Amino acid sequence: MKILFHEKFYESDYADNGASVPGRMEAIMDVIGQERSFEHVRPRPAEEEEVLLAHAPEYVETIKSNRRLYDMAALAAGAAIMASDIGITGEPAFACLRPPGHHAYRKSSWGYCVFSNMGIALLRLKQQKRIASAFILDFDAHTGDGTRDVLSDWKQCRILNPYADNSQEYIGEIGAFVKKISSVDIVGVCAGFDSYQKDVGRKLATSDFYMIGVMMKQFARRAAHQRRFAILEGGYFLPDLGKNVLAFCQGFL
Ligand SMILES: [Zn+2]
């Protein structure tokens, strides 16, 4: 399993609205950095033409007016791209990145997000004709509205944001959804850990993140030639964030 991470992601003051939440990357890397079975890979920034696969030129220009924010967001998109490049070989990859992307629309964004990291990664693979279909599981506490907007024209891309009230039903909803899919070219996971029982979502336990990782691995084995990758979205309960990310990754690998 490969972990995409750049030390620049430790910087939390790139967004002037205070939205980048200091300490998140440390909370994760302090735990998964200890795992000897994970190989760490340093990402490259996304090229502007890659960003433009998912975003309108005028929106990209607006972000570019804040060079520091643009550079950070391009590096995050690059980490997602590299995770997808590894994932498509059948080796699992997790991109530990910031800013997150699932609230980034084609022409706007909110909720800490800037560029659609998942959208850019998948649209690039599609443009290169390496995939024609995709499945995205987004288990963040919040709906990936931006991802849906960016990928809305792509009929062969199916997206699941589970809505169930409790963890048992939540896991069941994921199982029922993927059971109906017989074949897909790649599995992408928008991994948002604010669905944790002590975070804003008040739902999932650490063992549930492990189980979701296992389910996506098994689904990818059955229906997607093992091709799978995951990227970080939300997650703000710092004392347990690292162990939750680790649990997901251990299930996913
Ligand atoms: Zn969230």
Question: Mean pLDDT, to the nearest integer, of 76-89?
Answer: 98
CA 241 – CA 243 distance, rounded (Å): 6
**Mean pLDDT on 27-43:** 95
How does residue 16 score in pLDDT terms, banded at 50, 70 and 90? low
Q: Which of 122, 106, 108 is nearest to 188 (CA)?
A: 122
**CA gap 184, 224 in Å, rounded:** 5
Q: Nearest CA to 124 among 38, 53, 197? A: 53
Cβ within 8 Å of residue 149, ≥6 positions away: 105, 106
pLDDT at position 20:
67
Q: What pLDDT score was predicted for residue 19? A: 53
The rounded Å distance from CA 193 to ligand 1 centre is 7
* Residue 38 pLDDT: 97
Query: Of the given ranges (14-23, 144-153, 168-177), which has the lowest mean pLDDT?
Result: 14-23
97: its two tokens:
């990145």
- What is the whole-number distance in angstroms between the Cα of residue 141 and the centre of ligand 1? 5
Q: Is the peptide bond before 43 cis (omega within 30 degrees of 0)?
A: no
> What's the gap in Å between 129 CA and the centre of ligand 1?
31
Q: Where residue 22 falls among pLDDT bands split at 50, 70, 90? A: confident
* Averaged confidence pLDDT in the chain: 96
Residue 83 CB burial class (10 angstroms; 0-12, 13-18, ≥19): buried
Give the distance (Å) from ligand 1 centre to CA of residue 128. 30
End-to-end CA distance of the chain: 6
- 41-71 per-position pLDDT tens digit: 999 999 999 999 999 999 999 999 999 999 9
What per-residue confidence (pLDDT) applies to 127? Answer: 98
68 CA distance to ligand 1 middle (Å): 23
Residue 21 confidence (pLDDT): 78
Q: What angle do CA 75, 19, 111 make, to 5 degrees?
A: 85
Ligand 1 centre and the CA of 44: distance in Å?
25
The SS3 of residue 132 is coil
Spell out the long-range contacts of 110-114 with Cβ–Cβ below 8 A and sequence spacing 24 or more: 111/19, 111/142, 112/15, 112/19, 112/20, 112/21, 112/234, 113/146, 114/63, 114/69, 114/72, 114/73, 114/76
- The tokens describing 115, both together, are 């560029």
Q: How far is the CA of 122 from the centre of ligand 1 (A)?
A: 21
pLDDT in tens, 149-173: 999 999 999 999 999 999 999 999 9
Cα 207–chain centre separation? 19
Supply the pTM of this predicted model. Answer: 0.97
Q: What is the mean pLDDT of residues 238-249?
A: 98
